[in-house]
Amino acid sequence: MKQTLATKAWTDFAMRPNTTSPEGQVPTTGEIVGCPDIIPQTSPVNDPQAVFSTPDSWNTTYPGQVLEGRPNYLYVRAKNFYPGQEEGTVRLYAAGSSLIQWPSIWLQNPLTLDSGSAGLTLSAQNQNDIIVGQQPFYWEAPPPPAGSDHYCLFSLVDTENTPNPLLHSDVPSDFSTMADLVTNSLNVGWKNVAEVANDIPAWTKRITLEVPAPVEQGSRLHIYCNGTRQTVGGSVALSSGESQGFDPVIDMPKTEIKGQYDTYGLLTTPSPGLARTTINVSFWKGASNPTLQDRISVYAGWVPPDSDAIGHLIEAGVAQRVPEEVAGDEIPWETPVGAMHYRFTG
C-alpha cells in the first residue's frame, strides 16, 4: 500500500518551489529549483505589485534567463499565510551551481537594490495577500564561476514570527541538506537561471539622480543623452529599477547613436518631488570608434509648473533651452538637475 506523506500548514510568508505543489503546505512536492516567485526581467517594470499579483501572473513560471554583463531586474513576491497583518524582509542571492552547498560563502554577497540596500520590506495587510517587492534587485550577471554552468538564485524572507534558518541558525553544508531545507521551509525560494551571453555592452555605468528641493511634485522631468563624433554607430540604453514614484519608470531600450549630439531618451516623467534614484547607462561599441576626446553624456532637467516661474528662472540665468526632440510642442525651457559625462579611456 502506498503511504501518503503527512503534510502541515505553513503559517507565514511563503515562496513556492513551483506552481503545482499545494500552496501553504510542507513538505513540498515536485521540482524545487524553479521558484515562480523569483522573477527575472531585463527591463524595469512599472507598478510590479499590480503586474505580478494577478491570477495569471501567479500561475506563471517566468523564464529562468538573465543577460550576461547587462542590467537585470529581479523581482521577488510572496503569499501571506499568517492569519492577519505580517511584515518581513526579503533578500536575494546568486550562487554558482558549484557553490550551492556552501551558503556560508554566498550569504556574504547578497544582491542589492539600485540604492545599494540588501534588504527589501514586504508588508501584507491580510491573510492570503500576494505581496510583490516594489523595487527589484539589480544584477549585472558575470559569467558563472569555474565549475558552474548556471546560477542559482535564492530568495530568503525573514519575519519575527518565522526567522529564516539560513540567516539565524542552521547553515547547510551539503546539497542534500540544502534541498531538504527548501522542501520543508517556504521562506526559502530557489530558481536556477541560465545566462544569455550575446549582445554584451562594452560597459555599464551607474549614476545617482537626485531631484532637488525646488522641484514640485508632478512637474515634468526630462532625462536624455547624446554622444560625440566618434560614438556615432554605437548604441546606448538607460534604465532605473528604483522608480521612486516615477510613473512610468525610467527605461530607454538599446538605441543607436545616429548623429553627433543627436538627443536620445526623450524620457518625460512626472517628478515625485524630492527623490533619489540610480540610472544605469549601457554603451555598445557597434560600428563606432570612440577616441579619448569622445564622451557619452546623460542629462536631467525639470520644467517649472507655470510661465511666471520659468520667466524668473530665465532672468536668473538658471534655465536652459530644451532640445527640440524633447520639447516638441511643450515649453522649450527647463532647469538643469544635473549631467554626467563619460569620457572614453581607450
pLDDT in tens, 117-157: 999 999 999 999 999 999 999 999 998 877 777 899 999 99
| Nine-digit cell string for 8 | 502541515
For 203-343, give the CATH class. Answer: mainly beta
Q: Which residues of 186-222 are buried (b: 16+ CB within 10 A; e: fewer)?
A: bbbbbbbbebeeeebbeebeebebebeeebeeebbbb
Is the pLDDT at 5 greater than 70? The verdict is: no
Calpha distance 28→118 (Å, rounded): 28
Q: Which strand ranges, in their side-by-side order, compose the sheet holding 220-227?
A: 264-270, 220-227, 295-303, 333-343, 320-321
- In this predicted structure, the answer to whether residue 294 has a pLDDT above a threshold of 80 is yes
Q: Which of the four pLDDT bands, split at 50, 70 and 90, describes residue 2?
A: very low
The pLDDT value given to residue 1: 41
Element (H, E) at 48: helix 48-52
Query: 18: which residues sit within 8 A by CB, 6+ positions away?
Result: 28, 30, 31, 32, 34, 35, 36, 61
What is the pTM for the complete model shown?
0.90
> What's domain 8-196's superfamily in CATH?
Immunoglobulins (2.60.40.10)
How do beta strands 112-113 and 137-139 pair?
Answer: antiparallel
d(C-alpha 64, C-alpha 224), whole Å: 32
How far apart CA 206 and CA 331 sit, in angstroms, is 29
Domain borders along the chain are 8-196, 203-343
Among 64-73, 187-196, 319-328, name the one with the lowest average pLDDT: 319-328
- Rounded to whole angstroms, the Cα distance separating 20 from 121 reads 27
Task: Reduce the DSSP state of residue 182 to 3 states and report it.
Answer: helix
| pLDDT digits 0-9 by tens, 59-70 | 998 888 999 999
**Contact (Cβ atoms closer than 8 angstroms) between residue 270 and residue 71:** no
Q: Nearest-CA neighbor of 191 among 39, 52, 41?
A: 39
What average pLDDT does the structure give for the chain? 88
